[in-house]
Amino acid sequence: MPIISSIVGLFNARRLSQIDLFRKAPMEVQESVFFSLIEEARETEWGRQYDYSSIRKIHQYQERVPVQGYEGFEPYVERLRNGEKDVLWPGVTRWFAKSSGTTSSKSKFIPVTKVALEACHFRGGRDVLAIYNDNYPENQVFSGKTLTLGGSHQINNFSNDSYYGDLSAILIENLPFWTQFFKTPGPDVALMEEWEEKLKKITKVTIEENVTSLAGVPSWFLVLIKHILKTTGKKNLLEIWPNLELFIHGGINFTPYREQYKELIPSEEMHYMETYNASEGFFGIQDDPTSSSMLLMLDYGIFYEFMPMGELGKENPKTLVLDEVELNKDYAIIITTNGGLWRYMIGDTVRFTHRYPFKFIISGRTRHFINAFGEEVIIDNATKALDAACKATGAVVSEYTAGPLYMSTGSKGAHQWVIEFEKYPDSVDKFREVLDKALQDVNSDYEAKRYKSITLDPPDVVVAREGLFFDWMKSRNKLGGQNKVPRLSNNRDYLDDLLKLNHRIDH
């Protein structure tokens, strides 16, 4: 065993035993987290409003405190930004993670308390490496540096006492100084605002480093990798970083990008590890390399509830605690956190694949779906159907988005897909046919609407010109590692914008 990995393993032994504890006793750990949060916040304005001092059972909390999205918390956040203390969490909250999200064009400012930074975000980062080191004790990842591709917003002032920026900027600002010895590029480059200039600087700085791991969003990392290869004239990343062995990724589904990464990093020793980290908290880590599911991390100061999809939009929706969830059903995540978020709906949906320990996949967004005709197509359906179409036609998808084609006089409704290919399919017609059939296989509502084309016609696939999605994101001022291409929409706003920028390619 390499000596550095051996030393790291010794330091991580206690932490790994704690992770094993919540694998075996998840509800006991979650109940402990819950009562700790309630006790900590009982003298805040929010805690007094809902009489946290008298809460003795989880169901009392569920009955008193409403489930809310950002809109419900925004007035409180405004007060926090102005320096008020003891509002949602004890003391003054100085940091706010700016997030435009993908459900609204309006910026959200998520409070990030000191305890959330340490006990949630930083602990999550340490656990990723602890679990990786445990899975691969012969690894050499600690002998080099991690190339991190984060957001592009510097820290800005609300006032003299409160600050906002991308979560990545907040983490960098608060990390111990010694961590910079293990990361590249430095903060001055990592947080540059101008994306295209940032690519050049990152390339210049990192090609001389011993990069052993990457961390970031797969889609944006592809842009960086291709820029690095073009600049250096190399065919793959191992010609630049021969010791590269790990990609820690998150933010979007990795399936559409997997084949591209295998070509760009042609090594059987290359490992991929998914994480679920958001401005609101660090939620999951892929702890088993043989499974695509993630372990729900239960001792980060986050108490979880799960809302069945049929409850969405109800005035008093029913939510489930962890031991009440069922496998293979989609749930909206509701979180209560040490960042001062109380029964907060973050907008993501998950599907549990295993109980005891609780493992899950991200299945979509509560507002990212197509249901213009009662078909309820979610992102997980789209991912599986695209994967089938790619395998059948030899295609590789770079980016995509989809939405409805509305019914009009003389025509039925349909779905329209704008797809940018890294590798074109053998036949676009065949790609469309397989996509359509695969969607019917994974979604019975879509299948019913497609039956004999009574309600829905076959999907319309628009082949995007090269660089369309990059140009579109640039036009929306959304270039950079923490911005995501919206995959599905129940209206045509994204599609119409894209089509205006696109030149239709017929095959």
| 290 falls within a domain | yes
Q: How far is it, in rounded angstroms, from Cα 139 to Cα 5?
A: 7
Q: What is the pLDDT of residue 220?
A: 80
Q: In the prediction, which pLDDT does 104 show? A: 40
Given 365, 395, 426, the domain boundary residue is 365
Residues 285, 159: one domain?
yes
| Chain center to CA of 475 | 22
Q: What is the DSSP letter of 117?
A: I
Q: In this structure, is residue 506 part of a structural domain? A: no
Q: What is the pLDDT of residue 507?
A: 43
Same-domain check for residues 395 and 346: no
* Residue-level pLDDT at 78: 92
Same domain, 433 and 314: no
> Can you give the pLDDT at residue 101?
44
Domain boundary among 337, 365, 393: 365
Bridge partner residues of 271 (DSSP) = 246
Contact 5/142 with Cβ under 8 angstroms? yes
Question: Hey, how many other C-beta atoms are within 10 angstroms of the C-beta on 450?
Answer: 23
Are residues 360 and 375 located together in one domain of the fold? no
Same structural domain, 100 and 222: yes
**2 and 92, same domain (yes or no):** yes
Classify residue 309 by its DSSP letter: G
Whether residue 507 is contained in a domain is answered as no
Torsion angle, alpha carbons of 423, 428, 433, 435, to 10: 30
Phi, psi of 324 (to 5 degrees): -100, -10
- Into how many domains does the chain fold? 2
Same domain for 275 and 406, yes or no, is no
For residues 313 and 450, state if they share a domain: no
Rounded CA-CA distance 502/506 in Å is 12
What are the CA-CA distances from residue 294 to residues 2, 276, 301, 400, 470 (Å)?
A: 27, 8, 18, 25, 29
Amino acid 2: pLDDT: 62
Mean pLDDT by 10 residues, the chain (507 residues): 61 91 97 98 97 97 96 93 95 87 59 96 95 95 91 67 84 79 86 84 95 89 90 96 96 81 94 95 96 97 95 91 96 97 94 97 82 81 94 95 79 90 96 96 86 87 94 86 81 91 62
Q: What is the pLDDT of residue 196?
A: 83
Q: What is the pLDDT of residue 42?
A: 96
Q: Beta strands of 309-451 (E only): which ranges?
A: 330-337, 344-354, 359-365, 369-370, 377-378, 396-405, 414-423
Domain range holding 119? 1-365
**CA-CA distance, 424 to 401, in Å (whole number)?**
17
Whether residue 393 is found in the same domain as residue 341: no
**Which of 306, 336, 365 marks a domain boundary?**
365
Return the residue matching tokens 């009955």. 63
* 476 found inside a domain: yes
Q: Are residues 394 and 349 in the same domain?
A: no
